[in-house]
Structures are given as C-alpha cells and as structure tokens.
Structure 1
Amino acid sequence: MTKQTGVAPRLADVLAIVLGTEEIPLRLKAWDGSEAGPAGAPVLEFRSRRALRRMLWSPGQLGLSRAYVAGDVDAPGDVFASFAALSSTGKFAEPGPFRRPTVRELAAILKNAALLGAIGPNPAPPPEEAKLVRAGRRHTRKRDAAAISHHYDVGNDFYALVLGPSMVYSCAVWEDESTGLEAAQDAKIDLVCRKLGLQPGMRVLDVGCGWGSFALQAARNYGADVVGVTLSGEQATMAGKRVAEAGLTDRVAIRVQDYRDVDDGPFDAISSIGMSEHVGREQMPAYVARLHGLLRPGGRLLNHAISWNAGPTAPDPDSFIPRYVFPDGEMLGLAEMVGALEAGGLEVLDVEALRRHYALTLRAWVQNLEDHWSDAVQAVGEGRARVWRLYMAASALGFESGITGVNQILVQRPGGAEPPLRRTAWL
C-alpha cells in the first residue's frame, strides 16, 4: 500500500482495481497536487473529480477513455509510454471483452470515490462518442452509412494534417524504418497494383476508395479505368477534386455508393483496402459473394484488412474503439478471412502479413498529429483530436505487441488466365 498522502494514493487504489493489478505501473498526479505510484514511471494526470466519477459509473476501459477524451485525464508526457503502461497489466492486457469489476471491487471503488467527494450523477459522455442506436440490426445500408460518416466525415482538413500529402488511410509498406511515410504509402499502392496484375485498359473497382489515392495511382501509372466507391460524402468530394486536378476524369469515377449496390460489373480486378473491417463477421459471406459476382473469371481481388490475432472474439460494445472510432466495426482473424474468401469460391494466390508496417505507419500518423496539434484542435475540436491520439497510439502498441495484425490476401475468381507460377511476378 502506498504511503503518500492526499488524493493520489486513493486514486492509485482505484486505478489498480480497474487495471486488475496489485501495483499501478504509472505515476499519478491528482487535482490537489499530490502524487502516487513509482517515481520515474509514465505520468497520468487526473485533473478533476469528474474523472473518478466516470470510472465509478463505467469502471473499465470506457470510463478511462471518456475521461481522457473529455480532458478529465491527461498523459502529459510520452503518450506511447503512458498508454503502454495502461495496457500492459491485468485486465487491459487480456484479449477479448473487458472483465467488469466484482461486487467487492466495485464497493472499494465506491468507498474511495465517497472519501474523495466524487459521488454524483453519471457525467454525460463526451460529444465525440458515437450516437448510433445500440439496439436493432447492424450493417443495414442506413446504419453502415451512419457508422462510416461518424469516422470519416470529421473533416478533410483534419485528415490531411494526420495522413500527410498521400491521403492514404491504411497500412503503408516500409522498406525500413527510415523510408518515410509518403514513400511507404506510394510503395503500398504500387504493390497492390502489381499484385492485381493491372494493365492498361483494365477495369478496376476500388471498394472503400477513401480520398482516391489508389484510384489515381492505378490510372496514372498503370492505365487502368477505375470506379471508386465510398459511403463518405466528404471523401468523395475531395477524391473527385483530386481526380479532376490530375486530369483523369476520363479514367476515374468516384461514387458515393454502397458496394452492395454496384451493378455495372464485371471488373478485371477489385481492391478492398481497409474496408472489410466495416463489414462484420455475419455479413462476410455476403461481402465475398458480392465481390465474386463483380469479378470476371480470372479476375483478382486484393483484400487488405486488419486482423485480430488473439483468437476469435465478439467486439465489446463498451470498449473505446466501437464507441468512439469504428462503430459496428469488427476484425476477423486471418484464418476466418481466408476461410470466408475460399468458401465464396475464390482461390487464394498469396497472403502477406504487414503487422510491423502498420505500427510504423501509426507512429508516423501520431507524429503528424503532434506536430500539427493546434491546427488539428482548431479543425475538429480538442475532444476529437484526443480521440485520434488515443486511438492511433494505442493501435500502434497493439500491432507492436502482436495482438493485432494486418494482411493482404490476394485471391482470384477461377477461370480465365492462370495466375503466375511464382509470387515473384509482383515482388
């Protein structure tokens, strides 16, 4: 038991219960100026009693996340170090849904909250929390559009600050740690084009086209005719502007359209880069069937998606990512994704794991955010900027630890030309 006096020692006791550990791996600073926890450890600052009240009403990841987004809790030093310490012990280190405190643990939290004057009504969630209805059927067209809008329609100016000139919002491919984000994103898009075997005049569908970066490069460098579809109006507006500025309106068409409504196939190739995480496990067979039907015989599909490496699990709706970042999103394991593609009649040609590459990409995005913090806050507000800082830094740590991965799976619809004998054809 810590011997320090003031608010911080009791906060440390509460945080230890929430984290499921005997000793907290952080140095806590409380609103009264007191401190507790190991000297020299990463710092977590509790700025008000409201932070503790949030933990009382939601004693787990959600309560801490709400406190951080609202500014009731801060990590004033190295955010990676602070978030790594939080996620390294006890309940936060366990894969799957967060384990709720026991009745005895809740009583201990309540006692400390009462002693610190933090008892009160449940504070309203920060406005950045997704307002999708929790009840009802997921992945209807209307609900998917709302989920996509929550994440992507936060402002193109903000994404430009975070992503940089490439405007690519998926894992880059790095030659080494010194490659640089723009070169790594260019290399990723070029790799996808080569895996798809793009040739002049080929008709390509880009599912979840984002701000049009893949479509532009496929048309400009490979002579492909590309249809890009997205559910984000802001993405489509910017993508269309970029296409016009590049003089490629005769080769690239950008649509606000659900992939389920695309009816002008067949396509010679399909790219799905960072999109299938929004589909969900139950809808995956329909997703594969739809893309299979849009491919000509012999056509290739490249599915680039984050994977859950810690074993099959349902998403916890009360964790940070579903509430603030990707409503209704769901990561599948690599085996699940490969199985779904094969069950849908597609032949697997290649699988490439890019886990370490996404950690480097996310760290570059966090650095962009930190370098342009005041502009980001001006663009979307401090709460939204804090959501993205927490999400990207914590995600980088997840990839570095191996809990999450990201994979490019190349498949082909049977029929037509045979694939190359060796994968050296696209390396």
Structure 2
Amino acid sequence: MAGAAVRLTTLAEELLGAPFPVRVRAWDGSEAGPPAGGPVLVVRHRRALRRLLWRPGELGLARAWVAGELDVDGDLYTLLGRLAGTLWDREPDAPAVHPLRDPGTRAAARELLRLGGPLPPPPPPPEESRRRSGPLHTRRRDRAAVSHHYDVGNAFYELVLGPSMVYSCAYWDAPDGTLEDAQRDKLDLVCRKLALRPDDRLLDVGCGWGSMALHAARAYGARVTGVTLSREQAAYARKRIAEEGLTDRVEIRVQDYRDVRDGPYEAISSVGMAEHVGEVRFGEYARQLHSLLAPGGRLLNHQIARRPEPDESGYRLDDFIDRYVFPDGELLPLGRTVAGLEDAGFEVRDVEAIREHYARTLRAWVANLESSWAAAVRATTPGRARVWRLYMAACALAFERNRIGVNQILAVRPLPTGPSGLPPRTRTWTADGSA
C-alpha cells in the first residue's frame, strides 16, 4: 500500500489541478513530491487534513501550522514562495467552492477526509483571537485588538526585535549595517523629517516601547508625549525613560489617540500605528492629528499600504493575519491615505516608499526568533512563537514581491496665510530642517 505522503500529494494535485510544488513528509515517515534537496512540508499529524478541509486555504493551513501539525524541514521562505505560487497567486476565475461540494474535486476531497482520520475538526489553537462583535474600531474593540497583538510578553518582543525594541520598518542606510543601526537610522530619519528642535512638543502616537520618544528627547531635546493602548508597552517604556533620566522630558500615557486634548504640538510621529485605525475611522484620525498640531506643525505618518483592488468592495485583510496577528487591522492604498490627510487640511510635502527596507527588517526579526527559539517559546507559547515566525516570513515575501508596501508621508498643517512653514529642502533631511 502506498505511503501517506504519496496519497497526500496525489490527492492534493487532483484538488489543485496542478503539480504539488514541494516535497511532503507524512506522519508515517513516507515522502513524495519533487526530488529531495529543497524544503520539505512536514505533516506531523493527520489532523491537519481535517483542518484544511474544514477551512480550505490560508486559515486551515495556518491553524495546522500554529498547532504544530504542519512544519517545514529546510528554508521556510522557499517553501512559502512555492506554496504561494500554487495556492494564492493564481487569479480566481469564479467564486470559491468548497472541495466537498465541487463535482470536480468531491471524490478527492472525500478520500482526503478519510485519510485525515475519524476525529472531527479540532478547535482552533488558543492563540487565535476570540470572536469579536459590535462596530469596528470602537475604543473598547481597539483596546482588545491591541492587547491581543502587543500584550504577549515584553520578554518575547525583546528576543524578536533586539535591543532597539522598535516594531516597525527599519531604514537600512548602510548595506552592511545591523538591525540596531537600521532602527536607529529610522528613528533619526523621522526626527529629521519632522525638523525637530530643542523643546519642540512631539506627540508620538502608538509609542510602543518608547524608542521613538527616547530618541527624540535624547538626541533632539524634544519634549515628548507618547500614547499607547498597551499597558505592557507603557510600563516597559516608562522604565526605560526613568533609567535614562528623561522623566522630565518624556511622558507615556495609556490613552486612545482620540482622547488626546492637550495640543498644540509642533510635531506628531505616527509610526506603524495607522494600520490599526481602519478605513472607516481614517478621516477622524487625520482630523484629530491636524487639530493637535500648531499652524506650521508637522506630521510624519509611517504606514503599510496595500495595492488597490479592482473591486474595492470585496477587500478584507487575510484570515490568518486577522485571526492571529492584527485583529481588525486594515491596510489602505497609498492614494487613499494621502487623500484622507489632504481632506483633513494637511498639505502633503513628501512621500518616501521604503518597502524593500521592511522586507529586510522582517528577515532580521525572523532570524532573531529562530536563533532564540527555545527562549521565545518559554517567553510566550509554542503556538504564539509559530504564529510570529509564519507571519513575519510571509510578510517579508509580500514586501519583496510588491504585494504590499510601506511609506513615510510628511505632511504639514499650513500657516493661515498659506506658507507651509517648512523651508525648501532636498532629501538630505539635515538636522536643522534645511536643504
């Protein structure tokens, strides 16, 4: 009788209508597929097949991966790239039909179901976000979403992010620079674009673990207010600030950006936060930040962007990221973000696309996680560590393949008489704000 791997690949090819792109090793030790030498998809437990048939596609695969029922032997990026080319990158010709209901795939799906064993589909791994209800992006729902993503243990994030504790795209100014160099250069680039001067009031929206606030206060003499919805982040940031003796210059609040009322500020940095705002609230977000700036005040909005869809009504964040990583997160096309800022009264002065920088950043984070795997599992859970490994590796490929991008948008609240308040400049972004 053929081993499980042969039966798996044969049935998968019938379902996909194409050769299965990677070698498979099944729970009985058998292997099948392309010649040995490349990455191997390891099916550790037949229960994974039930998950895949219960939720065909990305979510079923992700649940099996998070549960440890699927694994990879070899390079994860290569395996994901090959699977993406077969499973996700093809253009859909018609609405998806469940394999058990499609006459062309019903027989293969039933055989796969039998191969998966008698158990019903198991519950999702506990790392999956709990069911959400009510309107999107209310204060309560946003707090829960942020907590799911960020309150998984500061020790875990220290292992992944490294000493900088910056969880956004680095800026690789030097080809041989380290992650720490690149994150320091990103923070400094933001400060220079904002033309920060001593004693300027800076509002850091979504301040994370305090790295931007610390850099702006330490290197530029700014007076910084940082806001976050994560209590774990806030506690960590306050400890760092106290250790550096900067409590007189930096205040960290657990506060929704919508509740900030103590403007005006000379500058606002929003780095990797607007993805949590949602399209329905983006206009409110832009108007709130505009209202908090003094005339001539500057905003640096650093935000991941998706590509425009032909049918925008059908767009949604993919199931894996929405369930496991960023609940309720939404990506907007760059044009829509710029339009939203302009509608709020901003003048957009500069847009810099840096997606290749994010791909490299993500690969560095994955390398950190993999090199500290045992400690990362102890710091959180095996499932959570597997979520982050899959998520970051898949996102690195998405940036490399131009599926998504990331942009720094510099905008200003113009002076009443019309001038922007910014000097003409080139991309040198000198410390004093001049060209």
Query: What range describes the TM-score normalised by the shorter chain of this pair?
Result: over 0.9
SS in structure 1 at match of 2:279: coil
How many angstroms does 1:149 deviate by? 0.2
1:419 to partner: Cα distance: 1.5
Q: What is the CA-CA distance between 1:53 and the residue it aligns to? A: 0.5
CA RMSD in angstroms, aligned pairs only: 2.0
Give the structure 2 partner of residue 281 of structure 1: 279
Counterpart of 1:305 in 2: which secondary structure? strand
Deviates more, 1:171-180 or 1:197-206: 171-180
The CA distance in 2 between the partners of 1:14 and 1:249, in whole Å, is 62
- CA deviation profile, 1:144-168 (whole Å, cap 9, x unmatched): 0000000000000000000000000
Whether the aligned pair in 2 keeps the contact of 1:155 and 1:380 (CA below 8 Å) is: yes
Higher alpha-carbon deviation: 104-113 or 216-225: 104-113
SS in 1 for 2:186: helix
* CA distance in structure 1 between the aligned counterparts of 2:327 and 2:11, rounded to whole angstroms: 29
1:130 aligned partner, one-letter code: S
1:353 and 2:353 correspond: yes
Partner of 1:209: 207
Preserved CA contact (<8 Å) 1:80 1:397: yes
Q: 1:177 to 1:310 in 2, by over 3 A?
A: farther
1:287 and 1:199 mapped to 2: Cα distance? 25
Which residue of 34, 37, 40 maps to 1:38? 34
Which residue does the alignment assign to 1:419?
422
Contact 1:113–1:119 under 8 Å retained in 2: no
> What does 1:256-335 correspond to in 2, within 5 Å?
256-309=254-307, 311=309, 313=312, 316=316, 319-335=319-335
Q: Give how far 1:132 is off.
A: 3.8
- 2:410 maps to what in 1? 410
- How far apart, CA to CA, are the structure 1 residues paired with 2:300 and 2:375? 35
Q: TM-score, normalized by length of structure 1? A: 0.94
* 2:245 is the alignment partner of 1:247: yes
Tell me the TM-score normalized by structure 2: 0.92
Look up the match of 1:127: 126
Q: Which amino acid aligns with 1:178?
A: D
Once residues 172 and 32 of structure 1 are traced to their aligned partners in structure 2, the CA distance between those partners, rounded to angstroms, is 43
Range that drifts further, 147-156 or 25-34? 25-34
SS at match of 2:232: helix
Decide which moves more: 118-127 or 164-173: 118-127
1:27-426 → structure 2 map (5 Å cutoff): 27-39=23-35, 40-92=37-89, 99=96, 101=98, 103-104=101-102, 107-133=106-132, 135-309=133-307, 311=309, 313=312, 316=316, 319-415=319-415, 418-424=421-427, 426=429
Following TM superposition, by how much is the alpha carbon of 1:353 offset from its aligned partner in structure 2, in angstroms?
0.4
Amino acid across the alignment from 2:282: M
Deviations 1:41-68 (A, max 9, x none): 3210111110001011011100000000
Name stretches of at least 5 consecutive residues in structure 2 with no aligned partner.
431-435
Does structure 2 conserve the Cα–Cα contact (< 8 Å) formed by 1:315 and 1:330? no
1:359 and 1:322 map into 2 onto residues whose CA distance is 20
Relative to structure 2, which stretch is displaced further, 114-123 or 238-247?
114-123
Q: What secondary structure does 1:88 align onto?
A: helix
Structure 1: how far apart are the matches of 2:21 and 2:263? Answer: 55
Deviation at 1:10, TM superposition (A): 2.7
Q: Distance in 2 between matches of 1:281 and 1:222?
A: 33
SS of alignment partner, residue 23 of structure 1? coil
Shift of 1:33: 1.6
Task: Provide the rounded CA distance (Å) in 1 between the counterparts of 2:28 and 2:189.
Answer: 54
The aligned residue for residue 433 of structure 2 is: none
Give the CA deviation at 1:177.
3.7
CA distance, structure 1, for counterparts of residue 158 and residue 95 of structure 2: 33
Q: Tell me how far 1:424 sits from its aligned partner.
A: 3.6
Partner of 1:24: 20
1:174 counterpart letter in structure 2: W
For each residue in 1:68-101, what CA deviation from the matched residue of structure 2 results, as whole angstroms up to 9, or x when unmatched? 0000000121111111111122434559x99454
Q: Is the 8 A contact 1:83 1:394 kept in 2?
A: yes
Cα distance change on mapping 1:344 and 1:382 into 2, 3 Å? same
Distance 1:271 1:22 in 2: 48
Cα deviation for residue 176 of structure 1 reads 3.9
C-alpha spacing 1:397/1:183, structure 2 compared with 1 (3 Å) = same
Amino acid of the residue matched to residue 22 of structure 1? A
Equivalent position SS for 2:280: coil
Cα distance between partner residues in 2 of 1:384 and 1:407: 28
Give a deviation string over 1:321-346, Cα, whole Å, max 9, x none.
00100000011111111111111110
Deviation of 1:319 (Å): 1.5
Instruction: Please give the alpha-carbon distance, in whole angstroms, between the structure 1 residues aligned to 2:28 and 2:320.
Output: 28
Cα distance in 2 between the residues matched to 1:131 and 1:109? 33
Report deviation, 1:117. Answer: 4.7
Q: After TM superposition, which residue ranges in structure 1, 4 or more long, deviate above 6 angstroms? A: none
Contact 2:204 2:270 in 1 (8 A): yes
Cα contact 2:57–2:87 (8 A) shared by 1: no
Q: SS of the counterpart of 1:227?
A: strand
Identity %: 57
Instruction: Give the count of matched residue pairs.
Output: 421
Please give the alpha-carbon distance, in whole angstroms, between the structure 2 residues aligned to 1:283 and 1:343.
Answer: 13
The alignment partner of 1:283 has SS state of helix
